[in-house]
Structure 1
C-alpha cells in the first residue's frame, strides 16, 4: 500500500488564505451568490450576505425558512423552470431575467447568471450562480430602443475585472472577464507594480487610495485611464481591504459614461455660449435635493437688472432673489426641473432698484434637474398698455357723458314738442323756443 503524504501546513495556510479572499470577494459583490438544490422550490444550500440588500432576507432565512422558489413572481415561475430545464447541459452558462418579491412586498427585476451542478454520472443536482438587481435598468428599458444599449447597461452592473494587490501596489492576482482588455497578458501583469502599468498621476492616486483603504479600513473609489489600441479607456476601481496589508479592487469600464459626460459638458458649453450673446436675460438653475441653486447669468441679465450676478452663484433662488420667495415661481421652476411640467411662459413683476418692473418669462428644462429661464423687460410696453387702457377708459366715460347729455336733450325736445302741441290746441300759436 502506498503511503499517503500529509498536506503541508504551508499548503493548508495557502488554501485558507485563498478561501478567505474568495469569501471576502463574494460577500462584497453587489448581488447574491447562491448554490441551490434541484427541487421544485429551488431550496438554497448557500447564499451570500448580498441577499439582504437584494431581497430583504438574512442568509439563514433563505437556507432554513423561506424557499427561493416562493419568492419568484408567480407569473415568472414556469418561465424560470422551463428555461432551466431546456438548458441542462454540463458547463453551459445560463442567463435569464425574472421578477422576485422582496420581504417588504416590493417587486424587483433580477438578472441571474448561473450554470447547472452535475454529479460524476452527469445527473443534474443543483444550480450555482449570481443574481443581481436590474430593476433600474428595466424601468428605463422602454426608452432604450436598441437592445445593444440595454445589454451594455446590464453588463455595467457586473465588474469587468477583479485585481488583488498589496499595500505597495504589486499585482498579486487578476480575475478578468472574457470581454475585458488588459494592457498586457495576465501572466505578465502579475508580479508587476501598478506604477509599471498606469500613467504616473493615475498610479499615484491608486496607491494613495490603497494606503487609505488599509489605514482607515474603508472602501475607496478612484478613477484612472489607460491607452488601449490607440484609444483612452477610463476605469473606476472600488478598493476593499482584505487584511494583511492586501486589497482587492472591483474594476468597471466607465469609458462610455465619460464620453457621455464629455458630450453633455460640450453641449452645455455651447448652450452657455449661445445665451452669453443673447439680448434676452438668461438664468440657469440646478436642482439639488429640494433646493433650486442659481448657477449662471448672461451679460444681458446683468444689464437688464443692473446687477452683478457673480455674487449670487451657488445661492438658492430664495437667497439670490428674495422678491421671489413668497411667489409661485420657485415651486414652478422645481417642477420644470423634475420634468413634472413642460415649458412655461408667464409675466411677473419685480422691483429693480426700488422701481417696479415687468418681465415676460419663459422657463424650460435643459438637462435632468436643470432649467434655463429667459426673460425680457416689458415695463415700457406694460406701462404703455396701462396708459392706453386708462385713456380708453376715460374716452368711454366721456362718450357715456356725451351720450347721456344727448339723450337728455332729445328727451327735453320731445317734452317741448308735446307742450307746444297742447298750447296750439288750446289756441296759443307762439312757439316756446
Structure 2
C-alpha cells in the first residue's frame, strides 16, 4: 500500500521552520545564518532592530558586509573571514549605528566536517562598554588624586594565602621615604619592610584588609639600611582584600619638640639656681613656677 505523505512532510517542515524562527525571535541578540559567500540565509527579529531595518526582505539574500559595514567586501577584521581561516569561533568589538557591539562568527559544519557557513551573532554591549569607560574615567580621576595628594600612600593586597603584598605607591611616598617605592611592588610587607616583622603592624594591616577596620599610629619609628624616620600612620580598607596606609614624616616635629623640652629644662634649671626670687604666673595670674629663693 502506497500513501503520499508529501503534504504532511511539507506541513511538518513548515511548522519546524516556524518553531525555529519563533525561537530565534525570542533571543535578544542579533543572530543570522550566512553561507560561504557571506550571504544572509536567515535571521531573527533582533537583527532588524540592530541593523535599522523594518522587513526581513531587506536582509535575507544580502551580504553581511553590505548591511553591517556598508562596504563592497569583507573588512580586514571581519570575524567571518578570520573564522574561515582559523576554523573556530572569532569575535571582535566595534561600534555600529551609534552602539557598541560584540560581533562573533561560529562555524557550521557538514557531516564531513567541512565548513558550510557561519552563525553570525551581534550582541549590543553598549551599557557594558559605557560602564567600562566610566570606570576607566573614574580610575583616571582617582589616579590623578592618588599621584598628587601631598601624603604618602602605600597600597596592599591580601592574597588568598594570607600574604599581604605591596602593589602600589604614590610619588609623595618616594619623597617622604627618599626611596623608589616601585622596588617593593610584588613583595610581601615583611619582605619590603623587614624591621616591621618584630611589630604587630603586619598583622594589623592584614586584619584591616580582611575585616575593614581602621587604625592610627601617632608615631611609628622605622629604620633600615635605606629608610630612617618617625611617621604618623593611618591605615584603612579600600575594598575587601585591599588596604591603604597614609603617612607623613614627623621626624622634624619630634626633634623640635625635643629641643623645646631641653630648652624648658635649661630655663627651669636657671630659675631654680637663681639667687634672686623668681615667681612666674600665667595670663590668668596662676602661679606656674616659684624658685627656692
Shift of 1:288: 7.4
SS at match of 1:259: helix
Corresponding position: 1:267 with 2:138: yes
- Paired positions, count: 244
Whether the 8 Å CA contact 2:232–2:249 is kept in 1: the answer is: yes
Out of 124, 131, 138, the position equivalent to 1:253 is 124
Q: Distance in 1 between matches of 2:181 and 2:42?
A: 54
Whether the 8 Å CA contact 1:167–1:210 is kept in 2: the answer is: no
Out of 269, 279, 285, the position equivalent to 2:150 is 279
Q: 1:160 is matched with which residue?
A: 29
Out of 198, 207, 219, the position equivalent to 2:80 is 207
Larger radius of gyration: 1
Deviations 1:293-326 (A, max 9, x none): 655432211211222344555x254497253885
Whether the 8 Å CA contact 1:195–1:203 is kept in 2: the answer is: no
Alignment of 1:92-131 (within 5 A): none
Deviations 1:350-399 (A, max 9, x none): 445444433333344556765544221223445666x58x97xx99xx9x
CA spacing shift, 1:178–1:6, aligned 2, 3 Å: closer
Q: TM-score, normalised by structure 1?
A: 0.43
Corresponding position: 1:308 with 2:180: yes
SS at match of 2:44: strand
Whether the 8 Å CA contact 1:220–1:239 is kept in 2: the answer is: yes
Q: Distance in 2 between matches of 1:368 and 1:192?
A: 52
Corresponding position: 1:334 with 2:209: yes
Corresponding position: 1:357 with 2:229: yes
Alignment of 1:11-22 (within 5 A): none
Q: Which has the higher contact order (CA 8 A, sep 6+)?
A: 2
Whether the 8 Å CA contact 1:224–1:235 is kept in 2: the answer is: yes
CA spacing shift, 1:243–1:187, aligned 2, 3 Å: same
CA spacing shift, 1:243–1:289, aligned 2, 3 Å: farther
Q: Distance in 2 between matches of 1:202 and 1:330?
A: 53
Shift of 1:241: 4.0
Shift of 1:225: 1.9
Whether the 8 Å CA contact 1:165–1:247 is kept in 2: the answer is: yes
SS at match of 1:258: helix
Q: 1:195 is matched with which residue?
A: 65
Q: Distance in 2 between matches of 1:167 and 1:325?
A: 66
Shift of 1:204: 1.0
Q: 1:377 is matched with which residue?
A: 249
Q: 1:429 is matched with which residue?
A: none
Q: Distance in 1 between matches of 2:190 and 2:78?
A: 38
Corresponding position: 1:224 with 2:94: yes
Q: Distance in 2 between matches of 1:332 and 1:202?
A: 54
Q: Distance in 2 between matches of 1:167 and 1:289?
A: 49
SS at match of 2:179: coil
Q: Distance in 1 between matches of 2:215 and 2:187?
A: 20
Q: 1:97 is matched with which residue?
A: none
Deviations 1:71-95 (A, max 9, x none): xxxxxxxxxxxxxxxxxxxxxxxxx
Shift of 1:226: 0.9
Runs of at least 5 residues in structure 1 that lack an aligned partner in the other structure: 30-129, 131-157, 399-433
Q: Distance in 2 between matches of 1:384 and 1:372?
A: 29
Corresponding position: 1:236 with 2:102: yes
Q: Distance in 2 between matches of 1:319 and 1:166?
A: 61
Runs of at least 5 residues in structure 2 that lack an aligned partner in the other structure: 270-293
Whether the 8 Å CA contact 2:30–2:50 is kept in 1: the answer is: no
Q: Distance in 2 between matches of 1:292 and 1:187?
A: 62
SS at match of 1:328: helix
Give the root-mean-square deviation of aligned CA atoms. Answer: 4.9
CA spacing shift, 1:211–1:368, aligned 2, 3 Å: farther
Q: 2:288 is matched with which residue?
A: none
CA spacing shift, 1:276–1:184, aligned 2, 3 Å: same
Shift of 1:249: 4.7
Q: Distance in 1 between matches of 2:223 and 2:70?
A: 56
